[in-house]
Amino acid sequence: MKLADNKATLSFSNGSPSIDLPVYQGNVGPDVVDIRKLYAQTGMFTYDPGFLSTASCQSAITYIDGDKGELLYRGYPIEQLATNCDYMETCHLLLQGELPNAAEKKEFVSRVTNHTMVNEQMQFFLRGFRRDAHPMAIMTGLVGALSAFYHDSTDINNPEHRDISAIRLIAKMPTLVAMAYKYTVGQPYMYPKNDLSYAGNFLHMMFATPCEEYKVNPVLERALDRIFILHADHEQNASTSTVRLCGSSGTNPFAAIAAGVACLWGPAHGGANEAALNMLGDIQKQGGVEKIGEFIKQVKDKSSGVKLMGFGHRVYKNYDPRAKLMQETCKEVLKEMGLENDPLFKLAMALEKIALEDDYFVSRKLYPNVDFYSGIVQRAIGIPVPLFTAVFALARTVGWIAQLNEMIGDPEYKIGRPRQLFTGSTTREVKPLAQR
């Protein structure tokens, strides 16, 4: 963070003296006005619901330029990472700051692979949930419960604890997600296999049974690995900010990540791809492709309450760079699975075409986002819709950990304590019960 040559001057129309506020520059992106001493100097706070104009931290991990449609992990464009790297290399990059060489990758993969199993008592913990529980309800409990099994890595201020907990979380998340799925469908749990890749191992634990040998489809393996890469981190989004805020209190890493899982569950965040598939299912029930015109009319009518899910993004005012990559993967998977003519997927492609050509959506920059395509890909792979958000949490875990570690290492970090604009009652006297 570099101090800019200029300062910001805040003046008041009521005659109060103006004040100068420092301005800092990042390596790229907008400058920031430092308001840390604003209250001390003026007795006032800023008001910014949703923190849309507030930088809560300085970070060197991920950068997004929404106007350009640019996403960088540690300076590397997401397009290049998704094309030339796998998820394990991406994890190393986010955690360590650099892409690994061959030896470093081998060591990193070995560490992750050797921590994929979970304590057998996790199976008994799972039995406390209803069979029809939402996977994210299960995952919130399972991830938080990890702190009960790994007492040797719960000190967030100890670098060694943070390191081993990071490896454990990355390694065990696929196992936990697969266990949550197997539990809900009543199938036996499948243990990890160390000779498989990260994505391949997840497919094995999800879809293999003890009855017969399961062979990982390389097209699906590659598609899932790409989904993991594209969802690995996304700057200071709601769940990442939640992990940072939770971790700022000094709680253990497992609890902080569990908080991120809980936040991600929301349909406006990690549940967006689930919402997109549910929307397509509703259109299909109403008549499918032939009814798209009527659906689009409802979307344009603000009084209808009908929303176009999987299109547009809070940050991107251009085509989401992840969506372009996911679109390619979507076509590859549909072709591999012979699903090009599946009614739901034909509906999705027809809806995409209309949205990309209709002036109403183009003028509002409502392009298909990564959630629209990733949901289609996961459904084609065989992942049930309620599990989509859990897969998202699996992929995002490394980003959460990297952000958490960065915050703990920042000498300026403090426990989070947002302020408020109070609009309630002023001081009142309590009357005895008989006089009320």
Instruction: State yes or no: is 313 an active-site residue.
Output: yes
- State the residue for tokens 């703990």: 408
Q: Are 139 and 177 in contact (CB under 8 A)?
A: yes
Cα separation, 391 vs 185, in Å, equals 17
Active site residue 48: no
Q: Which of 92, 115, 204, 313 is catalytic?
A: 313
Closest CA to 348 of 313, 378, 315, 318: 378
What's the Cα-to-Cα distance from 328 to each of 219, 227, 228, 334, 376, rounded to whole Å?
A: 12, 12, 15, 10, 12
Torsions phi, psi of 58, nearest 5? -110, 140
Active-site entry in 225, 233, 320, 371:
371
CA-CA distances (angstroms) from residue 400 to 197, 245, 358, 379? 22, 11, 37, 25
The DSSP-derived string for 332-400 is HHHHHHT-TT-HHHHHHHHHHHHHHH-HHHHHTT--B-HHHHHHHHHHHHT--GGGHHHHHHHHHHHHH
Distance of alpha carbon 22 from alpha carbon 372, whole angstroms: 42
Handedness of CA 292, 293, 296, 298 (dihedral sign): negative
The C-alpha angle 101, 107, 111, rounded to 5 degrees, equals 140
Report the distance separating Cα 99 and Cα 383, nearest Å: 30
Name the 3-class secondary structure at 241: helix
Tell me the three state secondary structure of residue 70.
Answer: strand
- Bridge partners (DSSP) of residue 184 are none
Q: Is 249 exposed, middle or buried (CB count within 10 Å of its CB: 0-12, 13-18, 19+)?
A: exposed
The β-bridge partners of 201 are none
Exposure on the CB side of residue 4, measured as CA atoms within 13 A: 16
The answer to whether 399 and 74 are in contact (CB under 8 A) is: no
* Token code pair at residue 15: 């005659």
Give the Cα separation of 254 and 151 in Å (integer). Answer: 11
Catalytic residues: 313, 371
